[in-house]
Amino acid sequence: METIYLDTHVVVWLYQKELDKFSATALRLLEESELIISAMVVLELEFLYEIGRLKYNAKEIISELAQTIELRVCDEKFSTITYSSLNLKWTRDPFDRIIVSNAKINNAMLISKDKNILANYEKATW
């Protein structure tokens, strides 16, 4: 089974059961793959909760998805991810840099609808 990383908005839509927001390709990959997220997704979810963009905090979201779809958080060393992210000069967004770097060092696909990620990470898909 292939391991696929998920971008933050993908996690939010899965939690909110908004499957109509996904492409056919993304839905197929979600069904067929082991789903994993960077720890940075957890932090970004919490930031979105703190500023009122999400109704539920990161722990609630991740806990629910871990139980329902077996989502797990990658345990790769943060220092390894961070040093790898230094090469991703196409974005100033620290969340995107770490999320992409985490997938990249594991040579994994990343499901994202973000146009900048899709244009710059060869294994990003929507």
pLDDT score of 9 more than 90:
yes
Whose tokens are 């060092």? That residue is 105
**Exposure pattern of 52-82 as b/e (b: 16+ CB <10 Å)?**
eebebebeebbeebeeeeebeebebeeeebe
35: domain range?
A: 3-125
pLDDT score of 66 more than 90:
yes
Stretch 19-47: mean pLDDT, rounded?
A: 97
Q: What is the average pLDDT score of the chain? A: 97
**Could you write out the three-class secondary structure of 70-110?**
CCEECCCCHHHHHHHHCCCCCCCCHHHHHHHHHHHHCCCEE
Stretch 58-64: mean pLDDT, rounded?
A: 98
Number of domains within the chain: 1
Give the CATH number, domain containing residue 104. Answer: 3.40.50.1010
This prediction has a pTM of 0.96
